[in-house]
Chain A
Amino acid sequence: GENVEQHPSTLSVQEGDSAVIKCTYSDSASNYFPWYKQELGKGPQLIIDIRSNVGEKKDQRIAVTLNKTAKHFSLHITETQPEDSAVYFCAASQTGANNLFFGTGTRLTVIP
C-alpha cells in the first residue's frame, strides 16, 4: 500500500515569513494529493489539492508543488499569520479509489 512521509513534524516561523512542509509518497500510481489544516478541537479542513497532471497550484498565500519523478510534494505558505498556526496533514490517493493515505502531520506555529 501507499506510504506517505511528512517533514518536519514541528515548524515555528516568525509572522510574515514563509513556511514549507514536505511529503514523499511511495506508490507511483497515486495521482491526487490534498492538504488539510486541522485547528485545535476541529476536524481537518481541505485547503488545497493537486493532481498529477499539474506541477504547481496556487491559492492566495498557499501553493502546492508536485514532483512526480521524485515522488514528493510540498505545501508553501507565504506571509504567514498567527491564524495559520495549526497541524497540517498531507495525503495521497488515486482518483477512482476511496482511501486517503495521510502523512504524520506538521504542527506549524506562527510567532507574532
Chain B
Amino acid sequence: SAVISQKPSRDICQRGTSLTIQCQVDSQVTMMFWYRQQPGQSLTLIATANQGSEATYESGFVIDKFPISRPNLTFSTLTVSNMSPEDSSIYLCSAAWDRAYEQYFGPGTRLTVT
C-alpha cells in the first residue's frame, strides 16, 4: 500500500503568520484532498487539490485563507494564512487512486496558533 506523509507533523505558530503544510505520496495518485479536523471533532473537507489548476474549495473555505498547490501527481501543499487561534486544528491530506471516493489519509499536521 502507498505511503502518504505530511510535513510538519506539528507546529506552534503566532497569530498573523502563515504555515505551509506539505503532503507527499510515494506513488502517482488521481486526486488529493485537504481536510480540517478541529479538536475532538469530525473531518471537514477544505478543498480538492487539482493538478495543474486551481483547487476546488468547499463552502466556507476560500483561496485567500487556504491557498493550495498541486504541481504534480504526488505532491500538494496547503497554506494556512494570517492565522488566528480558531485555525488551531489537525490538517489532513488524503489521496485517491482509481476511485475518488475511496480515500486514504496522511498522518495529519497538528497546528496550534497562539
Query: Interface residues, chain A, CB within 8 Å of chain B?
Result: 32, 34, 36, 41-46, 49, 89, 93-100, 102-105
Contact = CB atoms under 8 A, between A and B. Distances in A.
Interface string B41-58: 111110010000000001
Contact-size category for B: 20 to 34
Contacts of A100: 43, 45, 101, 103
Contacts of A96: 100-101
B49 to A, nearest CB: 11
A86 B41 CA distance: 14
Contacts of A32: 101-102
A98 B34 CA distance: 12
- Helix, strand, loop or mixed for chain B's interface? strand
Contacts of B108: 42-43
Interface string B82-114: 000000000010000001111111111010000
A44 B42 contact: no
Given A44-B92, A46-B102, A46-B104, 5 more contacts: A34-B101, A34-B102, A97-B100, A102-B42, A102-B44
Contacts of B107: 41-43
A100 B100 CA distance: 9
Given A32-B101, A43-B106, A102 B48 contact: no
A96 B42 CA distance: 23
Q: Which of B101, B106, B107: most chain A CB closer than 10 A?
A: B101
Nearest to B96: A98
B31 interface: yes
B66 interface: no
25 contacts: A32-B101, A34-B102, A34-B103, A41-B107, A42-B107, A42-B108, A43-B4, A43-B105, A43-B108, A44-B43, A45-B105, A46-B102, A46-B103, A49-B102, A89-B43, A93-B101, A95-B99, A96-B101, A97-B100, A98-B45, A100-B101, A102-B42, A102-B44, A103-B42, A105-B42
